[in-house]
Structure 1
Amino acid sequence: MSWSSCPFCSQQVLSTELERHANNHFEDEDLAKDFQLAKHYHDEDIPFDLPHHISVPMQVKPKNDYELKHGCSSIMVMLKDCLECDNGTNTSILCGHVDHFQSVEFEDIGWGCGWRNIQMLTSHLVVQRQEAKEILFGGDGLVPDILSLQRWLEIAWEKGFDIAGANDFDQKIYGKKTWIGTTECAALFCSFGIRARIVDFSSASRLSTDVSGNKKRKSTPQVTTGPMDKYLNTTASTSTSNSKSINDNNFLGVKGSQLLANWVWSYFSKNNNNNDMSASIKPKPGCNRVVVTDKAPLYFQHDGHSRTIVGIQLKSLPNGMHQHSLLILDPAHKTKVLESCLSKKVGWQRYIKRGVHTLKKSDYQMCYMDHGIATEEEMEKLKILDSTRFEF
């Protein structure tokens, strides 16, 4: 006798009764069928061909003793080792487990980066957060393939999440080689009760909402109620906004890409209770310090491409100044190449480290995940995506 967790209410039910139980969550018969279709592709053990080859669902590898001890996946453990041996006196903060998902030739190169980043975020959530594992994609700890993720996103739209975004795609994305952006990532995770939040970094003359390169959707920016709000100087076009301008040294008077880097540092250096860990993670003189935090990676979007930020490094310069470098996993890179460079501790910087000077786009957007699972009341609010926005 086997038991399964309902992906909607997390109740443990007999596996043979899961379909009937899940269908009871839907009033619309077609929506129930959509759920079963997505679940079918997610659980299928053989490749399918619709309309082009898509890889089968990938299971997150069990953590070995080294990973359990250090709280990282294999690629993140190797990155941690490289950062500890890096030149200079540096402070680095990393998220825990993340599996790298590369775009595959003849499958998704040129359009699939957004889906690959969603897979990377999922690989973190199902390993690091038990409450997320129990509700995401059937609760079995698998990372769905792209085709399955497309159906899950359609289900999110059908349930009322990000209606404006759904209309941009005419409610259909299954089987399409279509770019997606941060809003689609947020809508997908919010539909499971994950508290996904969006942050915009835009020049004053640009529109903020979607910078995927696939579409530009105009909206009225609003301020979220997430834990990062107190650390941001936000701008909003509505007089009813409860945004606040806080004189935080990380953001006061900072412009452009450095503002983005400071935000990323603040995100990773604050724990789930909003306590600043910066003072406790400074390295001792003459050595590097690497800390593994409990924060989830960031979906990082700009015009035409998206990547996953897994950490950030603060380098101490001889003149007393500091220099930030984002630590990024890019779907455009080959996993084997990354692993080879990291294992040899040679050449890995050119793939993973990105200094502030490389951030030359006029618009950037990020999606981050708050801890915990949304209540039923919160779920209704999450259906309307808003963003914390501030201008360069």
Structure 2
Amino acid sequence: MDLAPCPFCHLPVPSSELEWHANNHFLDEHEQQRLASDLELAQQIAFAPPSPPSLNSQVISDLPFDLGFEEKVNCLINFQSRSIFHKVEHGLMALLRKCLELESDNTTSILSGYVDHFQSLEYEDVGWGCGWRNIQMLSSHLLHQRQEEVKKVLFGGQGFIPDIPSLQRWLEIAWEKGFDEPGSEHFDGKIYGLKKWIGTTECAALLRSFGLKAMIVDFGPKEFESLYLSVPGSSAGVEGKSEGNGLKRRGIQVCGPMDRYVVKKIHGHSQAHSGVQEKSSSSSNITRENEGQQVLIDWIWNYFSDSNKPGNGHVIVSDKAPLYFQHDGHSRTIVGIQIKHQRNGVHQHNLLILDPAHRTAALEKSLKEKVGWQKLIKRGVHTLKKPQYQLCYVEPGIASGEEMELLKTISSVFLEL
């Protein structure tokens, strides 16, 4: 048997169990017992002699082959795995809030109330899993802050964040339900087990399949509109694919990962293509004199400040969900924004970002010690050097009936940078 030393306790363990063993060092005793039981069951399944398939014996890898649609869903609910992550005592956002409160009174910061950080793991998803990690971060907020309406519907009502393979299965089920058909076609309806980049449209499709109102906003140069070619008899457009760089271009509908951010220009910020009134919750307040990336910053500021919660001091906890923040090559989670009022009257903004590429333990340490956390979390306007960006946000409420059908078609609001 191939053995490898644990990087924490240095005990030799089978290579196939190294990641599971190492992650256990971050869990409490109850979680360790549960995972040990799960591993034992998995090993029993792996080494058991072949037997006729039945619903109770199906594991997640068998879902697409032998089961009907409803059986797939029920089986996934029962067999999905909880994602392992480094749990921060009292929450990472509480630590961030304390650090922001110590800053000067000439700053105002607005934060999402609760978000867990999910880091990419070296032996699991480094280099391709950032999109899934951002879905996990966004979901952690939704389950914690909107418990009554979200917990019943998200991930089969299990009340926890699934791991990446389980999320991949949920996305396949969303596609099978008819959410984001162009995106499904791009992946041939299969994503489970693949190390493929995903983006805001996959996030939106997955969350919409549970009735959550996930919306997309695109930011880019005006000349980007000229990339589209109209299709006779259709309100959508098509484009050729850009091969070799991991990006693709398709029709006006936003669909697929790392799209180079295929968008539809929507005048008046309303969506006429699918019949769904998808509008930017904050775009009407944007100051049009702002140019370049400041338009993105203004939208984010208006999004977080448009909150039902009153301000208190120079750190405000918003009821708004974090933002899935996509650009060419990477995606992160925006958990808030800060404005600094300078003496010359100029306002300096910083995005407050959780990056899946950072280690949760390092974030926790820097915030607790109040040293170096700014370099890990704050991002100024000058760092926004990409020509195009996408945001995915989730509005309150759960869709049903006709509204649920309309959510199957994913489009976006476009704002010119």
TM-score scaled to structure 2, two decimals?
0.71
In structure 2, the residue matched to 1:13 is none
What is the rounded CA distance, in whole Å, between the counterparts of 2:398 and 2:134 in structure 1? 21
In structure 2, the residue matched to 1:216 is 248
In structure 2, the residue matched to 1:264 is 300
What is the rounded CA distance, in whole Å, between the counterparts of 2:169 and 2:300 in structure 1? 31
Given that 2:216 and 2:390 are in contact with CA atoms closer than 8 Å, whether structure 1 keeps it comes out as yes
Residues 203 and 234 of structure 1: CA distance in aligned 2, closer, same or farther (over 3 Å): farther
Show the 5 A alignment for 1:1-392. Answer: 30-43=68-81, 56-58=82-84, 74-87=91-104, 89-130=106-147, 131-206=149-224, 214-220=246-252, 234=269, 250-271=286-307, 281=311, 289-392=314-417
What is the rounded CA distance, in whole Å, between the counterparts of 1:323 and 1:313 in structure 2? 8
Residues 357 and 88 of structure 1: CA distance in aligned 2, closer, same or farther (over 3 Å): farther
> C-alpha displacement at 1:134, in angstroms?
1.2
What is the rounded CA distance, in whole Å, between the counterparts of 2:411 and 2:352 in structure 1? 26
Given that 1:57 and 1:143 are in contact with CA atoms closer than 8 Å, whether structure 2 keeps it comes out as yes
SS in 1 for 2:293: helix
What is the rounded CA distance, in whole Å, between the counterparts of 1:111 and 1:247 in structure 2? 31
> C-alpha displacement at 1:217, in angstroms?
3.4
SS in 1 for 2:338: strand
> C-alpha displacement at 1:37, in angstroms?
4.0
> C-alpha displacement at 1:166, in angstroms?
0.6
- Which residue type is aligned with residue 106 of structure 1? Y
Residues 235 and 39 of structure 1: CA distance in aligned 2, closer, same or farther (over 3 Å): closer
Residues 124-181 of structure 1 deviation map (CA, whole Å, 9 limit, x = unaligned): 1111102111110121210000000000000000000000001111110000011000
SS in 2 for 1:205: helix
Structure 2: segments with no counterpart, 5+ residues: 1-55, 57-65, 229-238, 255-266
Residues 270-323 of structure 1 deviation map (CA, whole Å, 9 limit, x = unaligned): 125xxxx7xx6385xxxxx10111100000000010000000001111111111
The aligned length equals 324
Given that 2:325 and 2:333 are in contact with CA atoms closer than 8 Å, whether structure 1 keeps it comes out as yes
Residues 90 and 147 of structure 1: CA distance in aligned 2, closer, same or farther (over 3 Å): same
Structure ID, larger Rg: 2
Given that 1:99 and 1:120 are in contact with CA atoms closer than 8 Å, whether structure 2 keeps it comes out as yes
Structure 1: segments with no counterpart, 5+ residues: 1-18, 20-27, 44-55, 68-73, 223-231, 284-288
Given that 2:200 and 2:391 are in contact with CA atoms closer than 8 Å, whether structure 1 keeps it comes out as yes
> C-alpha displacement at 1:40, in angstroms?
3.8
The percentage of counterpart residues that share the same residue type is 54
Residues 116 and 313 of structure 1: CA distance in aligned 2, closer, same or farther (over 3 Å): same
What is the rounded CA distance, in whole Å, between the counterparts of 1:59 and 1:93 in structure 2? 25
Given that 2:283 and 2:299 are in contact with CA atoms closer than 8 Å, whether structure 1 keeps it comes out as no
What is the rounded CA distance, in whole Å, between the counterparts of 2:269 and 2:286 in structure 1? 14
